[in-house]
Amino acid sequence: MNPQDIQQAYDRIVAEIGKVIVGQDDLVEGVLLALFANGHVLIEGPPGLGKTLLVNTLATALDCQNRRIQCTPDLMPGDLVGHSVFDMKEQRFIYRPGPVFTNVLLADEINRATPKTQSAMLECLQERQVSVDGKTYPIEAPFITMATQNPIEYEGTYPLPEAQVDRFMFKLLAGYPTVEEETEILRRYSEGRDLFNMKAMGVAAVIQKGQILAIMEACTRVTAKPGVLTYIAAITTATRDWPGLSIGASPRASVSMLMAARAAAAVRGREYVIPDDVKSVAVPCLRHRIRLSTDSLIRGVVADDVLAQVLNSVEVPRE
């Protein structure tokens, strides 16, 4: 599949999602880039902004299986990855797969699950497999996890382990709509439309699973010149010694930026990465991988502002 085909497929998916989702352009783009780059996304935003609706719409447009996990403090690891059940008839244990065996997984309010349960997802996110009772079960591709968390409520929540946060390619922010966008949402409801009824909204599958795999494979063939690779490394290296940061980005962040930049180039119809591709994915790739110092937190500094300064300080390759 060539970049022009990928660009056309991307535009079709965005148009199909637009039948239900109003606005949230950056969020939609980030989710699709992560899908094509074989990554996962952590979506943060207040309730009622359509995060769950986006997942359902995306799964319908992709003709993929989707499942939802409602994370709560009593959720157990076996509720995610599955467990073995003794079959009286066959006199042996039979493994029953959990909801992680799907294509599009929604982990709703992931920070309400206990650290023990959250840790059960580490293998799923990175190795895309599940190990139970000494046996390993692969998760069929494509597989993308879209985890949501509410930044407002802290009662009854648990901080995500650093190792788990680092396994998300992007941290995307769901923002409030503009007046015009919210008016359009109200207009659709006033006309009696049920936005959760995909069939009634006219949402149909515009791309098959095999095509998604072909796009993912094509993105890995997008080239990046040595200057672009050095540019990515310079960005992540700069975060490690930047004033106001206590922890910088890891090499995994550099790899995520490269993979995401390849996908960004592909959906824009190119077979090569340019610095603008890197800059477009740098902030969502890094905002959850850096840690502000205590002094920065006291002064009200936010991660996105620091990253903007970092990007302005790194020389852009001219080749």
Residue type, 201: M
Residue 172: name the closest of 49, 20, 266, 12 by CA: 49
- Return d(Cα 229, Cα 85) in angstroms, integer: 49
pLDDT by 10s per residue, the chain, length 319: 788 889 999 999 999 998 888 888 889 999 999 999 999 999 988 878 878 888 888 888 888 888 888 888 888 888 888 888 877 877 788 888 888 999 889 888 888 888 888 888 888 888 888 888 778 889 988 999 999 887 766 666 777 877 788 889 999 988 888 899 899 889 988 888 777 777 778 888 888 888 999 999 999 999 999 999 999 999 999 999 899 888 899 999 999 999 999 999 999 999 999 999 999 999 999 999 999 888 888 888 889 999 999 999 999 988 6
| CB distance 45 to 174 below 8 Å | yes
DSSP-derived secondary structure for 195-212: TT-TTTTT----S-HHHH
Q: Is the pTM of this model over 0.75?
A: yes
- Return d(Cα 147, Cα 167) in angstroms, integer: 12
- Other C-beta atoms within 10 Å of 87: how many? 10
- Return d(Cα 31, Cα 171) in angstroms, integer: 10
In 4-88, DSSP assigns E strands to 41-44, 66-70, 82-87
Residue 108: name the closest of 152, 19, 47, 163 by CA: 47
The H or E element spanning position 144 is: strand 144-149
| CB distance 273 to 280 below 8 Å | no
- Other C-beta atoms within 10 Å of 17: how many? 22
At a CB cut-off of 8 Å and minimum separation 6, what does 70 contact? 108, 109
* Nearest-10 Cα torsion for 201, 202, 207, 208: 90
- Return d(Cα 203, Cα 17) in angstroms, integer: 7
- Return d(Cα 308, Cα 103) in angstroms, integer: 34
Structural domains of the chain ordered from first start = 3-215 (3.40.50.300), 222-313 (1.10.8.80)
Interaxial angle between packed helices 275-286 and 226-240, expressed in degrees from 0 to 180 and rounded to the nearest 10: 30
